[in-house]
Structure 1
Amino acid sequence: MSFLNSKSGDNMEEKILLPYTHIKNLPTKEWCRNMQTSFNHWLRVPQDKLEEVINITEMFYICTVIEDDILDGTKLRRGVPTAHSTFGLPLTVNSISHLQLLILQRCMRLHPKSSGDFYDDLTEGKFTLPIIHATKTSKRDAILNILKQKTNDFTLKQYCVSLLEQAGSLQYTRDVLTKLDSELRDEIKKFGGNPPLEAVLDDLLSWRDT
């Protein structure tokens, strides 16, 4: 990554990226990387290009994690103080901005026609499938009122989950996920199988335990 050509510029970039490095070094689940590499069983992307795509994806993911922690007021991330709790809000915000620039630069190098439509994905307030389902039930108003608050209150969140359960939204989501899992496995079989991707699907079944 290049910020300035001088040695002092390299030191400055290293400091700006401290919040990113802090989160990057946390223990992570391997299923995300395994999913990306498993698709190469079919796509046959050159290894150097594949590694660059994986690295860009990781940078983008970490960028969203840092931003989400700020917006949600989260203090801990996997048992470790969050980036903004450790390095302060000003440096962390600067790190996010610099990361977004680096991501765009690397995408442009990977493919000159790449666009920079990343900000839409960073926007908060996306409706999850259970919430969307719940808006069509009698629990709609109560759930939406809680959603608008973006609360950190555990009791209120618990109450919202109970409303989603009563509305049948959580069961609906489980049913949809079960159906999607079955359909994906059928499609994989049609293409001659893909053991790495099937292993990823197995890992993603952890939602059944929730």
Structure 2
Amino acid sequence: MLSSNSIQESSFNSTKSKQIQTILPYGKHDPHQMETAQKAQEDILLEPFHYLVSNPGKDVRAKMIEAFDAWLQVPKDELVVITRVIEMLHSASLLIDDVEDESMLRRGVPAAHHIYGTPQTINCANYVYFLALNEISKLNNANMITIYTEELINLHRGQGMELFWRDTLTCPTEQEFLDMVNDKTGGLLRLAVKLMQAASQSTVDYTSLVNKIGIHFQVRDDYMNLQSKKYADNKGFCEDLTEGKFSFPIIHSIRADPTNRQLLNILKQRSNSVELKQFALQLLEKTNTFAYCRQFLAVLENEAREEIKLLGGNRMLEKIMDALSIKEETS
């Protein structure tokens, strides 16, 4: 898990303690300002969003932005907007994810759609997507609009393929999965860095490194979902099995022993049964899946670290990789 060191407010207004204010002036307005009908409406429209960000996550993306800024030196005003936009998009995408995955919990509390209903939650998330685009448009950089559009398309393509595999019980190949991850999880990280590059005087392209980090992040998340007690507390025990999700470990195990359809049938059930999920974990152990995941992550981590060195070194990124590094014993 990442350390609790938060990014200083002097860098940009996006620390954990300030997350609730990430889309000012579009809601959660200054209580000292006079109440208006429009502001009251904004609070209503954005309530699912603010409910989610009031329970902040690990703040990984904001820390990534700060780390890449050590190289890119983006003007502060533009960095503030880019950071805010990425936080908005990340939180909005989580609202949609939880609806599509029928998740019960997010960060240890009920998912927003269980509080506000599915229609209002979807509308809120889509509204935030466009508020974020509006923020980008204020920077008067046409290239940024193109970047934003391309990566939002990638994000939805990745999400769409993941949903297709789940809903048709189609197990993808490992490469198909990694391509999907590069679109979905890598999309927001890549969007952040591409926007920063568009605002920077630097001509260095960091896309290759960002792609490696994005894939590492998702495979690690899939591994932790099935191995970490902390993840179980926040999302539920082996929640990916309940969702019927073809995560990286599950794909490996199914393809390692194609003659055994037990795991595939467990996914089909989308069961909350602890006993059934514990049996699924035994199947994953039999195919040495968790050892394979750790090996895959170690190789990818080493490749990312080597690329960081080739790009001139970056202590903040190295610390993030340290925090994301998987040890054999997972708590």
The 1:48–1:148 alpha-carbon spacing in structure 2 relative to 1, beyond 3 Å, is farther
Gaps of 5+ in 1: none
Q: Shift of the alpha carbon at 1:164? A: 1.9
Q: Residues 66 and 153 (structure 1 numbering): CA distance in 2 closer, same or farther, change over 3 Å?
A: farther
1:129-185 Cα distance to aligned partner (Å, 9 max, x none): 223322322256332333344444433333222222211222111101011112222
* Matching of residue 26 in structure 1 with residue 50 in structure 2: no
How far apart are the structure 2 equivalents of 1:14 and 1:102? 14
Structure with the larger RCO, 1 or 2 (CA within 8 Å, 6+ apart): 1
* 1:119 aligned residue (156, 172, 178): 156
Return closer, same or farther for 1:79/1:195 CA change in 2, 3 Å cut-off: same
For 1:12, which of 15, 30, 41 is the aligned residue?
41
Measured in 1, the distance between the counterparts of 2:265 and 2:156 equals 26
**2:128 is aligned with 1:128:** no
Counterpart Cα distance in 2 of 1:150 and 1:187:
40
- Contact 1:60–1:103, Cα closer than 8 Å, also in 2: yes
RMSD of aligned Cα (Å): 2.7
1:199 lines up with 2:319 in the alignment:
yes
Q: How many residues align?
A: 207
Offset at residue 121 of structure 1 (A): 4.1
Give the Cα separation in 2 of the matches to 1:109 and 1:120: 27
Q: In the alignment, does 2:311 pair up with 1:188? A: no
Letter in 1 for 2:247: T
Look up the SS of the partner of 1:135 in the other structure: helix
Check conservation: 2:133, 2:145, Cα contact below 8 A: no
After superposition, residues 23-172 of structure 1 pair within 5 angstroms as 23-110=52-139, 111-114=144-147, 115=149, 116-117=152-153, 118-123=155-160, 124=163, 125=166, 127-138=246-257, 141-172=261-292
Tell me the SS of whatever aligns to 1:39. helix
1:103 Cα deviation from its structure 2 partner: 3.2
Which string of whole-angstrom CA distances, capped at 9 and with x for unpartnered residues, describes residues 9-62 of structure 1? 332222011010011111332443212210112222222222222222222221
Please tell me whether the aligned partners of residues 137 and 167 of structure 1 are also in contact (alpha carbons under 8 angstroms). Answer: yes
TM-score when scaled to structure 2?
Answer: 0.55
Secondary structure in structure 2 of the residue aligned to 1:113: helix
CA contact (8 A) 2:104 2:114 kept: yes
Question: Residues of 2 paired with 1:188 and 1:10: CA distance?
Answer: 45
CA 1:166–1:109 in structure 2 vs 1: closer, same or farther (change >3 Å)? farther
